[in-house]
Amino acid sequence: MTELPKGYRFAAVAAGFKKKDRLDLGVIVSDADAVAAGTFTRNIFTAAPVVRCKQLLAKRPYARAILVNSGQANACTGAEGDANCLRTQEMIAEAVGVRPEEVLVASTGVIGAQLKMDLWAAAMPLVRENLGASSAADVSRAIMTTDTVPKTVGVEVELSSGPARLFGMAKGAGMICPDMATLLGFIICDAEVDADWWGQALVRCVNISFNRITVDGDTSTNDTILALANGAAGVRAGSDADREALESALCEICRELAYKIVQDAEGGTKVARIRVAGASDAAQAELAARAIGHSPLVKTALFGCDPNWGRIVAAAGRSGALFRAEDLVLKIGGIVVFEKGQPAPGDMDSLLAPIMNGPDIEIVILLGEGGGGYELAASDLSRDYVSINADYRS
């Protein structure tokens, strides 16, 4: 495993927000002021912690800590939820020795439920006791809700003045179809960076990773990605080459975490890598890719290992993307199954059986001779997904 970035400490405790003895409160603390950036949901019903993070980062793109809880989303909770959010900042700031305005906050869990402030107060001695004794892996478990596994990625990158390290964690398995973010993700880095560049780099990386996945077509009220860079490694991303290398590493973290989310997918068994090319522009390609990736019929066919390519073609046809039907070519696992308006010859069920039974399935759609393209990772839709979400609040 890659060594963790320098200058960070972690705390994870079981506060009892939903289940006894389960980690549900996590804190990441930087020993020094860290450049901070974030991307967030565009859902109109924006959770209190998202509003607060936006306010803090607009005033000052620096932070010392990230605070996250599972159990209650603190979304659609009105003035009481806003006040509770501010109070949690104050409580954690006192517990870990920073100022409240240096604490970025995130929550995940049931929408509409107020934070259990008595349990927060009772957890503060545990936070103080565990700070530095808990691991990054502990925090990654504390942010889980319906996730079946924690999701973490570490990368080391060589800059001109020495090595820098990045580490990321994410939670998410359902309610995944982000718009400028995903459910929750936190990335820490020990290089010194310029604040404006760091924020722009995060947006670029999120756009080609977390923003190109779908499990169920839903976007949460709480979607948040936060990234800190504290300079503790003593190396600076000062040149164009250094910034390019660091951004490449940041994007690698984002892509791997995004893939792990689709791979989990609340009972998901397959990841469909959908690539659309030959569209008149990227927007047209995206329409087709998302129609295919969101389709319950396509998803259930994937779950059943059924090479029902007609569902894919039909989804592209209703997507709103502009193309001629006779120009569409469909390939599954590299095998042409449809072109020139009709099925390709051959026993497709037999040819596609080993591909459909695998965990990763490549779906390529060619729409014509244009230069527009788009890629999207989508999950299948399983019986477990229905069961998990039917029982989510119980």
Q: In the chain, what are the domain boundaries?
A: 8-264, 271-390
Q: Which CATH number fits domain 8-264: 3.90.1200.10, 3.90.1710.10, 3.60.70.12, 3.30.565.10?
A: 3.60.70.12
pLDDT score of 294 more than 60? yes
Q: Is the pLDDT of residue 235 over 60?
A: yes
> Is it the case that residue 260 has pLDDT exceeding 60?
yes
Which amino acid would we find at residue 98? V
Residue among 198, 202, 195 nearest 180 (CA): 202
Residue-level pLDDT at 181: 58
- Round the average pLDDT of the chain to a whole number and report it: 95
**Average pLDDT score over residue span 191-195:** 98
| pLDDT level of residue 392 (50, 70, 90 thresholds) | low
Average pLDDT rounded to a whole number, residues 383-389: 82
Is residue 180 scored above 90 in pLDDT? no
Q: What are phi and psi of 91, to 5 degrees?
A: -65, -45
Residue 178 has pLDDT above 80, yes or no: no
- Maximum C-alpha span of the chain: 69
Domain 271-390 = CATH 3.40.5.10? no
CA distance 189 to 4: 9
User: Does the annotation count 269 as an active-site position?
Assistant: no
How far apart CA 68 and CA 123 sit, in angstroms, is: 13
Q: Does residue 143 have a pLDDT over 60?
A: yes
Share of the chain above pLDDT 90, in %: 88
User: What is the C-alpha separation between 111 and 221, in angstroms, rounded?
Assistant: 8
Burial 153-180 (b: 16+ CB within 10 A, else e): bbbebebebeebbbbbbbbbbbbbbbeb
Catalytic hit among 39, 108, 182, 224? 182
Angle value at C-alpha 273, between 213 and 207, nearest 5 degrees: 35
pLDDT, position 183: 81
Cβ–Cβ < 8 Å for 75, 221: yes
Q: CA-to-CA distance for 379 and 313, rounded, in angstroms? A: 18
